[in-house]
Chain A
Amino acid sequence: MTMTGSVRWMLLAAALATASSAAAAEDPRVFADADQIAALLKTEGHEAKVSVDKAGDRMIESQHNDRNYRIFFYGCSEGIVAGPCTSVQFYIAFTRGKPFPADRIAEWNGNWRFGRAYLDSEKDPVIEMDLNLDAGGMSKALFLDTLDIWFEVLGNFDEFVFTDPDAKKADSPEPKPAD
């Protein structure tokens, strides 16, 4: 039972601690509905613009730590006129202007939880996190908790991508500050 490195334990500690206060008496359900989630993001002080992705489904463009990320919607049987879809995917891609090493992506996936990292067709590092919101959805408190996990994943991956273990410091782009 050693599949959980200590680093994984740390990942969620902050997110879970800060989100605890979000549990409110009134706790409406959150579904995979772009309008609803965008409104929720705005209520929480985040930017959220609803647009349409390549598949014709709705998506949300938002920001965290000055980084642009997207929320894609899946299982939307009726396309953009539909009500709730069945699941969402948080997505962010970074570019360093040169191919990112495949072995470092593998290192990430072996050491961290919740995100799924890969290299896209341009060898740029991407991280995604999927969330099922079908079958009753989830409480607002739990959704916001999961959003905090995504912010942790995004921030840690950002730092990971822009910290080159083999390069001299002068060659490394500065990672964005944590806050």
Chain B
Amino acid sequence: MGRSSIAAALALGAAALAATPAQAELVSAANPQKIKEIMESRGWPANLVMNAGEDPYIESDRDGLQFLVIFMNCTAGRNCRTLQYYMGFGAAKNVSLERFNEWNREKRFARAYRSEKGAPVLEMDVDVDFKGIPRENLSETFNTWAALMDSYRDFVFGDG
């Protein structure tokens, strides 16, 4: 009922959207500590690294897959506006350009490529400028990222 009633409101046009119910908590990249807390609430370790004048990043891992949440478009390391989820495999068999192309053609949200050192990399960018996005929306991007990390491990190390 909740979803369908929202759908009905949308049918009335964009102006009807002002009637969207209670505002959800917004999360932006300007608050790395909050994003660290959200990651930890999922049971993911989150080591926030903040060096003066540099973009903050969070080191994490999930099921043995290490990854980073990098804060970008910052001003002197603060007031960041976008996020990048990043994972790279240091040791992996050679993955052909054709295979990378296959990933990028078939998958959504995250881009795969081979680093200059030959490591398969997976990246996903999220715009969280202004007041940010609802916490639930950010959490969904983490769900998406987690699924993509699993797929990428199979993609890089699997027989396919």
Contacts and interface: CB of A to CB of B under 8 A. Distances in A.
Given A28-B18, A138-B137, A1 B101 contact: no
Given A39-B13, A82-B7, A116-B110, A12 B101 contact: no
Contact of B105 (A8, A16, A30, A120): A120
B130 A141 contact: yes
Q: Size class of B's contact patch?
A: 35 or more
Contacts of A149: 127
B57 interface: yes
B109 interface: yes
B89 interface: no
A40 B14 contact: yes
Given A83-B7, A142-B130, A89 B17 contact: no
B17 A28 contact: yes
Given A4-B72, A36-B10, A116-B111, A28 B20 contact: yes
Which are the 7 A-B pairs with shortest beta-carbon distances?
A83-B7, A136-B134, A28-B17, A135-B136, A118-B104, A109-B113, A118-B105
Interface of A: 1, 3-4, 8-9, 12-13, 16, 19, 23, 26, 28-31, 33, 35-36, 39-40, 43, 74, 82-84, 87, 89, 102-103, 105-106, 109-110, 113-120, 126, 128, 130, 132-139, 141-142, 145-146, 149
